[in-house]
């Protein structure tokens, strides 16, 4: 009886030992699949299903004829019409990446605060110069550059606008399909900008703009808008088409100039999507200082 009891005890101990070894080995194997960060800290690895999984881009469901492998130019993004926007919407626009440019209109309730808030967040500020337009139901503003103004009237008006935006490093036109077609008007505008050490970006609101031709006469730093991001709307389909349109600029050395507007949150949300998509596809967003190298920046 004593021998039989001894055998039973020894057999039980043997089973317990085997079980403990299996448990220790299982824990050891499990530990090998974890990443030790510190002496007592262990971080679980990502599941195998996550390996190599890329973050889906917001407009990735659309097809594009270019991608990371293509030689694409940098992009400059300008947001027009600051001066109306206020409150949280203005704050949220100001929190965009600092490479994005604020184009601020003069003589509006939010002109000063828009420029100051944008500059405080690192955004370059340019004057969004009101200019006469053809057949528009919307006025450029109470004061604007018109075709029938003389150079002696144009220069003081520009100076009065710039006094409201002392941090402005350049100018682009607000509306202006009439003014930018006038050689005498653009001569007066660009001659004065040259005197002030500012550059000009043509928003290209008319195909007949003479701004580029006149800028060459004064050797004025100049660029022209390539894409309006929010025209005709801010839908995903429109954004995808604009991204597709970037493919036309493959291999171009000069950056692509893109303009959008700050009118509402829909446009801000659309800009966030656009930025995420093109950055994910390998495009760099650059500030104007990298285009013009202005000593004023």
Q: Are residues 281 and 152 in the same domain?
A: yes
Q: Are residues 124 and 264 in the same domain?
A: yes
Task: Determine, yes or no, domain membership for 67.
Answer: no
Q: Are residues 31 and 174 in the same domain?
A: no
Main-chain dihedrals φ then ψ at residue 128, nearest 5 degrees: -90, 90
Evaluated on CA atoms 207, 210, 216, 219, the torsion sign reads negative
Task: Determine, yes or no, domain membership for 160.
Answer: yes
Task: Determine, yes or no, domain membership for 139.
Answer: yes
Count other Cβ atoms within 10 Å, centred on residue 73. 18
Separation between Cα atoms, residue 32 and residue 29, nearest integer Å: 5
Query: What angle, 0 to 180 degrees and rounded to 10, lies between the N-to-C axes of helices 87-94 and 111-120?
Result: 30
Question: What would the two tokens of residue 140 be?
Answer: 């450029």
Report DSSP letters for 134-147, one per residue: SS-SS---SS-B-T
Task: Determine, yes or no, domain membership for 214.
Answer: yes
* Angle made by CA atoms 84, 90, 93, in degrees to the nearest 5: 120
Task: Determine, yes or no, domain membership for 2.
Answer: no
The DSSP letter of residue 27 is H
Lowest mean pLDDT across 9-13, 86-90, 208-212: 9-13
pTM of the full predicted structure?
A: 0.81
Q: Are residues 44 and 131 in the same domain?
A: no
Task: Determine, yes or no, domain membership for 136.
Answer: yes
> Taking 90 as the threshold, does the pLDDT of residue 15 lie above it?
no
Q: Are residues 113 and 26 in the same domain?
A: no
Which positions ≥6 away from 167 have C-beta within 8 Å?
A: 115, 119, 125
Whether residue 170 contacts residue 123, with contact meaning beta carbons closer than 8 Å, is answered with: no
Q: Are residues 278 and 188 in the same domain?
A: yes
The DSSP letter of residue 285 is B
At 79-113, the pLDDT tens digits run 999 999 999 999 999 999 999 999 999 999 999 99
Q: Are residues 34 and 136 in the same domain?
A: no
Q: Are residues 140 and 46 in the same domain?
A: no
Q: Are residues 84 and 174 in the same domain?
A: yes
Whether residue 80 contacts residue 125, with contact meaning beta carbons closer than 8 Å, is answered with: no
Domains held by the chain: number: 2
pLDDT band at 54 (very low <50, low <70, confident <90, very high): very low
pLDDT of residue 3: 53
pLDDT of residue 56: 83
At 125 the three-state DSSP class reads strand
Q: Are residues 266 and 189 in the same domain?
A: yes
Q: Are residues 187 and 283 in the same domain?
A: yes
Domain of 178, CATH number, reads: 3.20.20.370
Report the pLDDT averaged over residues 277-297: 85
> Taking 50 as the threshold, does the pLDDT of residue 245 lie above it?
yes
> Taking 70 as the threshold, does the pLDDT of residue 9 lie above it?
no
Residue 26: give the domain boundaries.
13-50
Task: Determine, yes or no, domain membership for 68.
Answer: no
Mean pLDDT of the chain: 86
Task: Determine, yes or no, domain membership for 218.
Answer: yes
pLDDT of residue 55: 53
At 135-152, the pLDDT tens digits run 777 889 999 999 999 999
Q: Are residues 26 and 154 in the same domain?
A: no
């Amino acid at each position: 009886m004593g021998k039989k009891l001894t055998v039973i005890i020894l057999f039980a101990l043997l089973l317990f030992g085997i079980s403990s070894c299996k448990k220790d080995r299982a824990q050891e194997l499990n530990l090998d699949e974890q990443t030790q960060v510190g002496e007592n800290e262990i971080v679980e690895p990502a599941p195998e299903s996550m390996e190599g999984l890329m973050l889906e881009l917001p407009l990735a469901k659309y097809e594009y004829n270019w991608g990371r492998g293509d030689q694409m130019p940098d992009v400059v993004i300008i947001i027009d019409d600051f001066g109306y926007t206020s409150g949280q919407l203005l704050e949220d626009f100001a929190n965009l990446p600092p490479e994005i440019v604020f184009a601020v209109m003069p003589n509006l309730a939010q002109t000063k605060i828009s420029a100051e808030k944008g500059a405080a967040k690192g955004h370059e500020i340019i004057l969004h110069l009101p200019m006469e337009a053809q057949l528009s139901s919307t006025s450029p503003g109470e004061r604007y550059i018109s075709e029938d103004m003389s150079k002696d009237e144009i220069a003081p008006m520009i100076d009065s606008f710039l006094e409201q935006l002392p941090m402005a490093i350049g100018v682009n036109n607000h509306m202006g399909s009439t003014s930018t077609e006038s050689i005498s008007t653009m001569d007066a505008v660009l001659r004065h900008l040259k005197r002030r050490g500012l550059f000009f970006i043509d928003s290209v609101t008319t195909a007949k703009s003479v701004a580029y031709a006149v800028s060459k006469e004064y050797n004025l730093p100049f660029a022209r808008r390539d894409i309006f991001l929010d025209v005709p709307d801010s839908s995903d389909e429109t954004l995808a088409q604009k991204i597709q349109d970037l493919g036309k600029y493959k291999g171009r050395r000069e950056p692509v100039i893109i303009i959008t507007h700050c009118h509402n949150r829909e446009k801000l949300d659309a800009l966030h999507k656009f930025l995420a998509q093109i950055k994910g596809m390998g495009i760099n967003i650059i500030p104007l200082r990298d285009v013009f190298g202005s000593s004023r920046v």
